[in-house]
Every structure is written in C-alpha cells, then in structure tokens.
Amino acid sequence: MFRRLLLLCATFLVTPNLLADEPAKEDPAHAELRAVRDSLTQAVNKNDVAAILAHLHKNVVVTWMDGTVSRRHDEVRSYYDRMMKGGQRVVDTVTINPVVDELSIIYGGGSTAVAFGSSDDDFKLRRGLAFKVHSRWTATLVKEEGKWLITAFHASASLFDNPLLNTAKQMVYWVGGIAGVGGLLLGALIARLLRRRTPRTST
C-alpha cells in the first residue's frame, strides 16, 4: 500500500514536468501566412500584377516607399503600371526578399494578422542606375472565406542612409569639384586674355 502511494505521488510530480517540456503547437495560421508571403514575393519578382492583386483585399491601402498611397486594386495597378511599365517607367526590375522579425500577431480568433519585418530589395532603374535598399515593412491581413488577404501594407527606407541619397551626395561633390576646377580654368583664361590686351608702355 505504501509503495503504491509513493508511486502515485511520483506520477503526479513527474507528469507536469513532462507536459511542460512539450513544445507548444504552432497556430496553423502561421504556415498559411508564410505561403502568402512566398507567393506574393514570387509575384513581385516576376512583375506579375495580376498575381499581386490576387493577394490584396479589394479595399487595400498601400503606402509605397516614395510616400505614394494607393487605395483599392485600380490605384495599385495604376501605380505599378506607371512605375514598372511603358517607355516612361521609372523602374526596370525589382527583386524583393522579405523576412519577418517574428511570428505574425494573430487577432480576432484567427481572422486578423499583423506581420512586420525587413527586406533587402534590388532595384534597377530605366536610366541604368542599380542599387540595393534595406527597407522596413508592416502588413495587416484578414481572412475571408478561408483566404488571407492584405488589407494594409506600408514600406519605408531610412531617410538618412539610403542609396539614392548617397548617390545624390556624390553627385553634389562631383558637380562642386567640376565647377571649382572650371572656375579656376575660366579665371586663368580671362587673366591671360587681359594680359594680352593690356598695351605695353614704351620706355
């Protein structure tokens, strides 16, 4: 009897520890959200606007890195066409690589999610300039009829440390240097012409 009592006590003491060591099961929503991220990344890198819009809610709000805000599918498509298509496009190609900081925050019993992280993006502009941008992003998604859709997306890059700003600074230095050298040469030329025109005094 005493042995049975000891065994029963040991069972109660050990069982909670075993349960505590078991890893918590991940919410299936996270795997679904990762699939959305991967599919959307592929669509952007392939410049497939239709596939991009398929992941956006009809009332989506997107704030792009240049500060432009697009509402709903038609404005997103218009912005994308203006930046990426036609003879007056700004960007030739863009490749994104979004990475989340941590698991998405799930709200509303699994109907809403907020994801956030960073991305190292490669841009090639129509005029030949190529550069990499480290950006930060935040996305809000809702689940409707079993499908996750992005309702809001915001991307931004550092105001004080980005490739375009650095290129602009370099251009200022180059222009300033060229202007300085040009000014010296022009001054020397004018001085030489003035010396030639100055009449010599007879002795």
| Domain spans in the chain, listed from the N-terminal domain onward | 29-157, 160-203
pLDDT at 92 over 70: yes
pLDDT at 203 over 80: no
pTM (global) more than 0.75: no
**DSSP labels, the chain:** -HHHHHHHHHHHHHHHHHHHHSPPPPPHHHHHHHHHHHHHHHHHHTT-HHHHHTTEEEEEEEE-TTS-EEEHHHHHHHHHHHHHSSTT-SEEEEE--EEESSSPEEETTTTEEEEEEEEEEEEEETTS-EEEEEEEEEEEEEEETTEEEEEEEEEEE-SSS-HHHHHHHHHHHHHHHHHHHHHHHHHHHHHHHHHHHSPPPP-
Q: Report, as an integer, the average pLDDT of 75-92.
A: 94
160: pLDDT confidence band, cut at 50, 70 and 90? Answer: confident
pLDDT at 172 over 60: no
Q: Which fold has domain 29-157?
A: Nuclear Transport Factor 2; Chain: A, (3.10.450)
pLDDT at 17 over 60: no
pLDDT per position as a tens digit, 96-117: 999 999 999 999 999 999 999 9
pLDDT per position as a tens digit, 36-45: 999 999 999 9
